[in-house]
Amino acid sequence: MHLIDTHTHIYGPEFDLDREEAVKRALEAGVGMLLLPNVDASTIAPMLATHECFPDCTRMMMGLQPEEVKGDYKQVLANMEKELERDIYIGVGEIGLDFYWDTTFEKEQLDAFETQLGWAKQLGLPLSIHCRNAFGFMARILEKHQDGSLKGVMHCFTGTEEEAKVYLELGFHLGLGGVTTHKNCGVKDYLHNIPLNRIVLETDAPYLSPVPHRGKRNEPAFMVETAKKIAEIYEMLVQEIAEITTRNVKTLFKI
């Protein structure tokens, strides 16, 4: 079995004590490739260092996560745009909108998101998109910018069937993670209506562990539990789910 974790923060301090073991556990579990989305200016160095330690099984993305968009975001974006010129990044992420805790920087978040969509277009790179409490804004902005060239993953998708269909129509993939295994997640109820060629898997480690690890630190090896749940929903073998979702990721991220 070969799975790809399309969204994992294994470079974070939560893994400082056992990063190598965590990567080993991932490989042993069949999660053979880890895609690392950036968060803010401070996470670039640890992400690069992690990639240097595990060059064969990690790939990086560059972007500013919406919750980290603050007053200085223009300067941060200018540095990230320069960093992207190094041509070592397979995508723009994670970027997006998050109005869950705080809408202080709503205007700035919208501007930062559109700026980074522009990078993706210019460089022909796929996106890893974070969206929380912002579906209306998100759909409108993606619609406005979609000229056929934008593609990517709606990371940690937990929305309604109607929202899923809007993203699919806009040409995006849905990134399913540990939440899909949680009892209260509504995605399970309609997922069988979503074409599998638009699904990719992720952990968002260290967050959002799947059952039976819920409440513990998440790690890429746990993604197998999400794959099992999805296999159950589609009434397929977990190996088939692995094959299809891995093919989707390879096509989307050109890896």
Q: Which residues bind Zn ion (CB under 5 A)?
A: 94, 204
> Residue 202: how many CA atoms within 13 Å on its side-chain side?
31
Least separation in angstroms between residue 148's CB and Zn ion is: 27
| H or E, element range at 248 | helix 238-253
Nearer to Zn ion among residue 68 and residue 204 (C-beta) = 204
Output the smallest distance, CB 22 to Zn ion, in A: 16
Q: Which is nearer to Zn ion, 94 or 219 (CB)?
A: 94
Cα 90 from Cα 87, distance rounded (Å): 8
Beta pairing partners, 173: 153
CB 94 to Zn ion: min, Å: 5
* Number of neighbours of residue 71 by Cβ within 10 angstroms: 9
Nearer residue to Zn ion within complex by CB, 77 or 96: 96
State the minimum distance, in angstroms, from the CB of residue 156 to Zn ion. 7
Indicate the residue among 51 and 165 with the shorter CB distance to Zn ion. Answer: 51
What is the closest distance, in whole angstroms, from the C-beta atom of residue 55 to Zn ion in the complex? 21
Rounded Cα distance, 97 and 54, in Å: 30
Residue 130 or 188 with smaller CB distance to Zn ion = 130
Instruction: Spell out the residues 6+ positions from residue 200 whose beta carbon is closer than 8 angstroms to its own.
Output: 4, 6, 153, 173, 174, 175, 176, 245, 248, 249, 252
